[in-house]
Amino acid sequence: MGVKDGFDSAVDEIRAFNRMYTRLIGVLDYPGQLNTPYSLSEARILYELAHRERTHVSWLRTELGLTAAYVSRTLGRFEERGLITRERHHRDARYQEVLLTDAGRAVAEELEQRSREAVTRLLATLPRTEMGRLREALATARGVFDGPREPAVRLRGLEPGDLGWIAQRHGALYAQEFGWDASFEALVARIVGDFGAGHDPVRERAWIAEIGGRPVGSVLCVQDEAPDTARLRLLLVEPEARGRRIGELLVGACVDFAREAGYGELVLWTNDVLTSARRIYQRAGFELVAEKPHRSYGVTLVGQDWRLSLQGE
């Protein structure tokens, strides 16, 4: 038998790594490893559902490389357990969308926490001096298989045309994802129009998130009715740019600016259906202080007031 070439050696190395990693992380016994009844594929589906407002069933099959039969059976089990609901897309009934219930979100969050704890325990067995070498090796492997690195996210101030883009994208996305009518776009147009007509640059600011020179997100920080209070408005992230923590970057910029501008608190108003945005606000330290049902934009909603104290920061 001849000497193995580089390709054959790489095959052997990857197979050896897979066997070693399988033993370390307990993938073969995933439910037992995390002490849950969910398999690795089931946990991955829950993870994806938890990181999106609404998910097409066809997207799950394509993105995760799962068969239609497996996805259908899994979603059926989830539905029986009260973890999800399924709806026809409001614009195209050929497509089915999946939404996590509160119970489903709680399960997804618990799985995420247990997974992090398992990896934390694994890393705790390594010397600190090995962490840098490990991270570098993992980054190298990801880079080889994932291809070129994603373009960096850039936050910038407003440029000509941005205010119109904010209004147009809010109108289009909220109609597509939640069925809101044109009155919402009209409201956004009034907000950005007032901002563009005369904001105080010392106390008010807007940011655009940009990837490769293309806008993919926005947020505004404006003075509220009380001089000591700032208000966060018009947070938006384009669907194809989600999952890169752009929402966190935009909210973080708003919080930092409000603090530096001397405000005592930062407030915002949102609706309960915007679950991804609400999780971002919670992680940033905002607290829900009031809720009230209302009928707006052609649908019935529950409005929510959130507050973040900037005192003593």
Q: What is the CATH number of the domain that holds 236?
A: 3.40.630.30
Asked if pLDDT for residue 19 goes beyond 60, the answer is: yes
pLDDT band at 238 (very low <50, low <70, confident <90, very high): very high
pLDDT band at 28 (very low <50, low <70, confident <90, very high): very low
* pLDDT at site 31: 47
Do the domain assignments include residue 85?
yes
User: pLDDT averaged over the chain?
Assistant: 86
Instruction: Provide the CB-side half-sphere exposure for 133 (13 A, CA).
Output: 5
Q: Which residue has the tokens 């009844």?
A: 37
* Together in a domain, 138 and 200: no
- Cα distance between residue 174 and residue 182, in whole Å: 10
Domain that holds residue 300: 153-309
What are the E-state strand segments in 214-313?
214-223, 229-237, 265-271, 287-296, 299-309
Among the listed residues 217, 36, 27, the one whose alpha carbon sits nearest the alpha carbon of residue 114: 36
* Together in a domain, 25 and 103: yes
Do the domain assignments include residue 105?
yes
* pLDDT at site 13: 83
* Together in a domain, 159 and 91: no
* Together in a domain, 21 and 168: no
Do the domain assignments include residue 80?
yes
Specify the DSSP class assigned to residue 313: -
* Together in a domain, 192 and 300: yes
* Together in a domain, 216 and 142: no
* Together in a domain, 130 and 171: no
Q: Which of 130-139, 207-216, 235-244, 290-299 has the lowest mean pLDDT?
A: 130-139
* pLDDT at site 139: 78
Angle between helices 275-283 and 246-260 in degrees, nearest 10: 50
Do the domain assignments include residue 297?
yes
Asked if pLDDT for residue 83 goes beyond 90, the answer is: yes
Number of domains in the chain: 2
Of 116, 146, 176, at which residue does a domain stop?
146
Of 96, 111, 146, at which residue does a domain stop?
146
pLDDT digits (tens, 9 = 90+) for 102-160: 999 999 998 888 888 877 877 888 887 788 788 888 878 877 877 666 678 899 999 99
Q: Which of 18-32, 90-104, 188-202 has the lowest mean pLDDT?
A: 18-32
* pLDDT at site 223: 96
Sheet holding 84-88, edge to edge: 55-56, 96-100, 84-88
At 83, which CATH number?
1.10.10.10
Asked if pLDDT for residue 33 goes beyond 80, the answer is: no
**Number of Cβ atoms within 10 Å of the Cβ of 184:** 19
Do the domain assignments include residue 232?
yes
Of 260 and 59, the structure prediction assigns the larger pLDDT to: 260
Of 248 and 89, the structure prediction assigns the larger pLDDT to: 248
**Average pLDDT of span 185-193:** 96
* pLDDT at site 190: 96
* Together in a domain, 267 and 242: yes
Of 178 and 143, the structure prediction assigns the larger pLDDT to: 178
* pLDDT at site 148: 62
- Identify which of 8-12, 120-124, 141-145, 214-218 has the greatest average pLDDT: 214-218
* pLDDT at site 37: 80
Asked if pLDDT for residue 180 goes beyond 90, the answer is: yes
* Together in a domain, 57 and 172: no
* pLDDT at site 34: 56
Of 121, 146, 171, at which residue does a domain stop?
146
* Together in a domain, 229 and 278: yes
> In this structure, what are the phi and psi dihedrals at residue 270, rounded to the nearest 5 degrees?
-145, -175
Kindly give the residue spans of alpha helices, DSSP state H, lying in the chain.
6-25, 30-34, 40-50, 57-64, 68-80, 102-124, 131-146, 162-178, 182-198, 246-260, 275-283
* pLDDT at site 313: 45
pLDDT band at 90 (very low <50, low <70, confident <90, very high): low
- Cα distance between residue 72 and residue 77, in whole Å: 9
The neighbouring-strand residues paired with 200 are none
Instruction: Provide the CB-side half-sphere exposure for 190 (13 A, CA).
Output: 5
Which of helix, strand or coil describes residue 240?
A: helix
* Together in a domain, 126 and 163: no
- Cα distance between residue 173 and residue 242, in whole Å: 13
Do the domain assignments include residue 1?
no
* pLDDT at site 231: 97
Do the domain assignments include residue 294?
yes
The neighbouring-strand residues paired with 84 are 100
* Together in a domain, 140 and 158: no
